[in-house]
Chain A
Amino acid sequence: MYKLLLAGILAVVLPAGCFPLPDEPPEEGGPTNVNARFIVEKVSISGRGSPKLSDPLRTELGQVAGQKFDQTLLDRLADRIKNELHVPDVRMHVTKSDTPDHVIVTFEIGMEREKRFDLDLARFLYHSTQGWSGQGHATININNNAFSFGMVSDGDQLAERYAGIQAGFERRNVGTDRLQLRFDFSSYHEQWNQASLLLAAPDDIYRTRTHFSPMATVLILDPLELSFGVDFARYRLSLPVAKTESSNAVVSTLRYHQRWGSARSDQGEHDIRASYTLRVGTHFLESDPVFSRHQTQARYRFRRGHQEVAVGFLAGSISGQAPLFERFVLGNAETLRGWNKFDLDPLGASHVAHGSIDYVYRGFLVFYDTGAAWDRPDQREQKQSLGLGCKKGGFQLAVAFPVRTGAVNPVFYAGMNF
């Protein structure tokens, strides 16, 4: 009986209180994660959205294979996948491989996240000759439908300053991921510079304009996509007798965007964007002005380590009589930086050619712009400008100088996302 009693006591006490303690004395130093000594044999991605991963990120994920297991690096890559694909969660699974001391890492991508409400400052800029420009939007997403409302005041991009509201509806998936639909509405009030008013004909200047623009975008063959639709614009002229005109145009844009490599690798990261846009104002759509506007834009960017080089190109031409908001402008915060657009072409031009090269090292920026804008061939005159400043993420601050004889008035600008 006493044996039974003893056995009972031991049965309760032993599992509860006695544990094997380490045989070996504690070591000092060394990595805190015991798995840091294993080699990553393979990295794979599973789940919806994995085909949309950019090439640079794919390259970086591929580079992990063959390296020692690094939790911090893998967590960072999981975060990058999450941010790039806008998914709520990326889970990392690590399992033993068939080879001893090797592991397999699998990133499992969760369902795509829909941010119900989003506020963004699409553009914010101060330009020493053109003043403040800003554009912001609020977006509500409901079941793959995005409703946006925004306000804008922009004195930089066009010959006029326009301020007003923008509203839009976007359906990102119409039966297939390859087709998107978008409807935009905007309403603006215009302000004109004295130089523009002096040169313009009375029926060129308008006080207000509204646009309604339904567009569809088709992903033809990744990364090539085509947008097509119409832009119905109505503008009220600044004549003694109020008169409203319409400029209704068929719009189509072909876009190409390709990115490959990694900024951290020896090969660096390459990014090419190119687009061709055609806008045709036609009587068929009951447009008052009849015109065709062609615009080609391309930008190549190369990044390696702390260095970045970007080369940009813009060319365009308008035939017919286009309203002033369709005309090309040089001498703002993106083209011929350092020149004042009102000194070059106060009403914009029907032809344009522009090139720029930017170099950034550790956030320090230098750039060179050259271009010309003209209506008649004899007006074509190449202008150049130089500048320096700093650039970090979407923020840029710079001083630019026009290259010319005589007095040089530098232009200062600072802003985000332009």
Chain B
Amino acid sequence: MMRRRTIKLWWVIATFLSGVAVAMWAEELSLSTQDNRLEFAAPRLHFLVGKPLERLRNAAEVSFAFRITLFSGNQTHKLQETASRFVVSYDLWEEKFSVTKLANPRRTVRNLADTAAEAWCLREMSMDVTGVGAKEPLWARLEIRAEDSKDGGLPFGRGNITDSGISLTSLIDIFNRPPAVTQTHFNVETGPVTLDELRHSR
């Protein structure tokens, strides 16, 4: 009798844990709110891998272009879009990463582990959602593209760089073109979710 009860409880725990694991796996891009800002995290997405990582470990700097697009309605209406460029390098002696956000002024963080460097880039992509309806269903898409050539460490040519790093129009244009075959790129999406749900899930 006792034996039967124990087995049932293990089944409940196992089912719960698998559910959590599946949910975590499926939700590669997670959203949260902080005041009127929508913040992003993608704990399962690692972009410091493969060829870019190989170049980084060879003391080169690698540029990553980020774009986050927020959709509403039936994922048809583009509500907001933000794009930024990050230059990552790997300290050969400290064996840690350094990330610079090309903005005006530039912001640099040093001595980060790979996952922390990736997380910092995403935190810097937060969006102001003032005016967005609390019950409006939202979808978010994150796109990341790594440099693909030695074009001065830039995937977009130096002509587009301004004092604040790179012009937003040029950066958006990058994502309007399909990535090159050899270019490392990532796309993740999430939704639908409302701001109310996000505020209550905190």
Contact = CB atoms under 8 A, between A and B. Distances in A.
B92 A103 contact: yes
Contacts of B61: 32-33, 71
A310 interface: no
Interface size class of A (residues with CB under 8 A): 35 or more
Nearest to B86: A32
A377 interface: no
A19 B115 contact: yes
25 contacts: A4-B13, A9-B20, A12-B24, A16-B43, A17-B24, A17-B41, A19-B43, A22-B110, A22-B112, A22-B120, A24-B109, A24-B110, A24-B111, A26-B108, A29-B106, A29-B108, A32-B61, A32-B100, A33-B60, A33-B89, A71-B59, A71-B61, A92-B60, A93-B58, A103-B59
A162 to B, nearest CB: 45
B49 interface: no
A26 B24 contact: no
Contacts of B102: 32
A394 to B, nearest CB: 25
Interface size class of B (residues with CB under 8 A): 35 or more
Interface string B98-114: 10111001111111110
Interface of B: 9, 13, 16-17, 20-21, 24, 30, 41, 43-44, 58-61, 87, 89-93, 98, 100-102, 105-113, 115-116, 118-120, 123, 150, 152-153
B180 to A, nearest CB: 18
Contact of B92 (A17, A20, A35, A78): A35
Contact of A71 (B16, B101, B153): B153
B21 A69 contact: no
A4 B16 CA distance: 12
Given A13-B20, A13-B24, A33-B61, A28 B153 contact: no
B152 A16 contact: no
A176 interface: no
B9 to A, nearest CB: 7
A28 B107 CA distance: 5
Contacts of A71: 59-61, 153
B119 A30 contact: no
A204 interface: no
B92 A95 contact: yes
A26 B92 contact: no
A23 to B, nearest CB: 8
A51 interface: no
Contacts of B30: 17
A242 interface: no
Given A26-B107, A28-B108, 7 more contacts: A19-B113, A26-B101, A30-B108, A32-B87, A33-B153, A38-B59, A71-B153
Contact of A22 (B43, B89, B116): B116
Contacts of A34: 89-91, 98, 110
Contacts of A13: 20, 24
Contact of A20 (B24, B87, B116): B116
A interface secondary structure, majority: mixed
Interface in A84-125: 92-96, 100-101, 103
A94 B119 contact: no
Interface in A1-23: 1, 4-5, 8-9, 12-13, 16-17, 19-22
Contacts of A9: 17, 20
B116 A27 contact: no
B13 A8 contact: yes
Contacts of B43: 16-17, 19
Contacts of A5: 13, 16
Nearest to A71: B60
A285 to B, nearest CB: 54
A30 B21 CA distance: 41
B53 to A, nearest CB: 14
Contacts of B116: 19-22
Contacts of B98: 34
B148 to A, nearest CB: 14
A30 B106 contact: yes
A92 B58 contact: yes
Interface in A286-302: none
Nearest to A5: B13
A75 B153 CA distance: 9
Contact of B93 (A19, A27, A38): A38
